[in-house]
Amino acid sequence: MSLPALLFLSALPLVAAAQAAPPAAAEVRRYGIEVAGIRVGTMTATRQAPVGADVTYSLVSDVKVNFLFYHLKIYYQVINRFRNGQLLLSTVEAHTNQGDFSSKAEWKGDHYDIVADQYKHHYKATETQPIRYAVTNMFFSEPPAGQARAFAEYFGDYFALSRGKLGIWHAVRDGREDEYQYAAGELVTIIKKNPLKNFIIRLEK
């Protein structure tokens, strides 16, 4: 084989490497949080690029509210790891002006061990049914038709989901209701209904 041919063949791996597609980037959604028209915090949802059969979602919320006698400080982080569409591990850390709290749901092969130790909410359960849809999923596309519930990571149980008019979904749990509003399949607004003032979470472009 001639020297030019050898040089050409030796260069092929370098050419292939140069043409290889770059790794997929994470998907990020950024939101502003408002109360009574005043910005009080941010929320960021991230879906990491799949690694094999694994996909990791995270949700970070940072809120500070100071209205007369109403003071609220919350830093909240959810991390959900799915494999082949099933939740394997969900962790929640909440750091607030009332203390530090946590929740965890972990798949043990035939069941989940679930423990939620949050402010005025303590819950422990075993769940045998695989969890395939959680609140973090709702940030990246409108729920599929017929989706009846979403795992509420903070509480360790479920929101009941129902579809209203076009693009509107209601998430209800124990008398609490959140409204999710979608446009062209993209989550643009969440209304967290509160007896004092609603929290409005808006997509930032």
Which pLDDT does position 10 carry in this prediction?
46
How many domains are contained in the chain? 1
Q: How many CA atoms lie within 13 A of 188 on its CB side?
A: 9
| Structural domain includes residue 19 | no
The domain of 71 spans: 24-203
Residue 4 has pLDDT above 70, yes or no: no
The rounded distance, in Å, linking the Cα atoms of 195 and 172 is 15
- The label of the residue with tokens 């693009």 reads 167
Convert the pLDDT of each residue in 75-93 to its tens digit. Answer: 999 999 999 999 999 999 9
Looking at the domain assignment, is residue 57 inside a domain? yes
pTM, 2 dp: 0.85
Q: Is 199 a domain residue? A: yes
Q: For residue 71, what pLDDT is reported?
A: 81
Q: Per the domain annotation, does 32 fall within a domain?
A: yes
154 is a domain residue: yes
Residue 15 confidence (pLDDT): 44
pLDDT of residue 74 exceeding 90, the answer is yes
**Share of residues in the chain with pLDDT > 90 (%):** 79
Residue 52 lies in a domain: yes
CB 139 within 8 A of CB 187: yes
Q: According to DSSP H, which parts of 20-149 are helical?
A: none
**Nearest CA among 41, 22, 25 for reference residue 33:** 41
- Predicted confidence (pLDDT) per residue in 107-121, tens digit: 999 999 999 999 999
Per residue in 115-171, pLDDT (tens digit) is 999 999 999 999 999 999 999 999 999 999 899 999 999 999 999 999 998 899 999
| Within a domain: 132 | yes
Q: Locate 109 and state its tokens.
A: 């092969």
Residue 10 falls within a domain, yes or no?
Answer: no
